[in-house]
Chain A
Amino acid sequence: MPPDDRRRPSEELLLDRLRRISGSADPVPPEVTALAQGAFIHRSADTQMARLLEEESIGIRGGEALLLTFTGEGVSLNLADDEGSLIGHVSPPHARVELESPASSNTGIDVDEVGRFTLDDVTGPIRFHIHLEKQDVVTFWVTI
């Protein structure tokens, strides 16, 4: 008997065991499934707005660790970490920015004259709505 045929059943047995263990030790928490189903209510609001492209940024800029940059439609928004605070920079700087999280309504963000803002105590999925004179754009959801 070739070695593969001998090994095969025991591979399957081991995987079966892992499946069983995974099911009892680390099943998908019911709230995770509930939130996944609930995500669907965010659908209708999504269809109209232009979406910004996302690019991962890696590096340090003036003590801040870069996270992500969203660009498109003449807008850019980048995010960085500064000792636990989330630092954002939006261009053009006069844009009105709102923060959305799945569980609460959108909240306005104070952006200074150079387009910079600071967010503390933000966790979980978020996305940004950016309101310009002529149009509104939205970022993808990201985990913070």
Chain B
Amino acid sequence: MTEPLSELVVRAADGDQMAWNEIVDRHAGMVWSVARGAGLDRASAADVCQTTWLRLVEHIDEIREAEAVSGWLATVARRESWRVARRRNRLVLDETTERMPDEDPGPDELVRLTDRRDRILWECLDELRDRCRTLLRMLASDPPAPYTAIGEALEMPVGSIGPTRQRCLAQLRELAEKRGITTADLDS
């Protein structure tokens, strides 16, 4: 049986490493997706993840509503990602563009995709604007991020997530179509 998050948080606050590991397992994919969705390279994303988890360690005694942990993690990761992205951008003096200098999928990512349609779709995902990219990344994380956490991280009401998701997926399809990947290709 899956243990409720609230019990895991109580046990972790009490010093239980196994409970902590379970909290990590349930959220590591989401935290990673937020950092990568913000356009950070893998090394910077790894730093942001570590900081986010260290912050939860500091904060876990103060959590009153355990279910809020997911949203708290997503929000901290998002804020930290933006700060790191802004700083990295400033340091490389690349302020002329809204896009991060290192966000294009590297060859090591693409080489893992054997299907041409997948490769193109993954590249198109990176071309979306930050908000859509993060939303779709969070939804595609394993396990998928809860809507409440997405709402908090992206500062949007939970009720808007469905329509936004629809719009972002439509934009993704459009980009893919420009590169010759049709809806029929993607549905097969």
Q: Mark B119-135, 1 if CB is under 8 A from A, else 0.
A: 00110010000000000
Q: For A127, list chain B residues within 8 Å (CB).
A: 54
Closest to A31 in B: B46
- Interface size on A (CB < 8 Å)? 48
Chain B residues in 8 Å Cβ range of A142: 51, 80, 83
Given contacts A17-B121, A51-B58, contact A36 B186 (CB under 8 A): no
Contact-residue size bin, chain B (C-beta under 8 Å from the other chain): 35 or more
Nearest opposing residue in chain B for A4, CB measure? B166
**Residues of chain A contacted by B105 (CB below 8 angstroms):** 25-26
Closest B residue, CB atoms, query A124: B47
Number of A-B contacts (CB under 8 A): 143
Within 8 A of A (CB), among B41-68: 42, 44-51, 53-58, 60-61
- Candidates B47, B125, B186; contact of A13 at CB < 8 Å: B186
A1 proximal to B (CB < 8 A): no
Nearest neighbor of B21 in chain A, beta-carbon distance:
A37
Q: Secondary structure at chain B's binding surface: helix, strand, loop or mixed? A: helix
Q: Please tell me if A23 contacts chain B, counting CB pairs below 8 Å.
A: yes
16 additional A-B pairs beyond A20-B118, A42-B57, beta carbons within 8 Å, are: A10-B186, A11-B169, A18-B139, A21-B118, A22-B142, A25-B109, A32-B50, A33-B28, A35-B49, A37-B17, A43-B15, A81-B91, A140-B58, A143-B44, A143-B83, A143-B84
* Interface of B toward A, CB cutoff 8 Å: 12, 15, 17, 20-21, 24-25, 28-29, 31-33, 36, 42, 44-51, 53-58, 60-61, 80, 83-84, 87, 90-91, 105, 109-110, 112-113, 118, 121-122, 125, 136-137, 139-142, 144, 165-166, 169, 172-173, 183, 186-187
Q: Which 6 A-B pairs have the closest CB atoms?
A: A18-B140, A125-B51, A39-B53, A141-B54, A36-B53, A22-B140
Query: Which residues of A line the B interface, CB within 8 A?
Result: 7, 10-11, 13-15, 17-29, 31-33, 35-37, 39-40, 42-44, 46-47, 51, 56, 65, 67-68, 81, 84, 102, 123-125, 127, 140-143
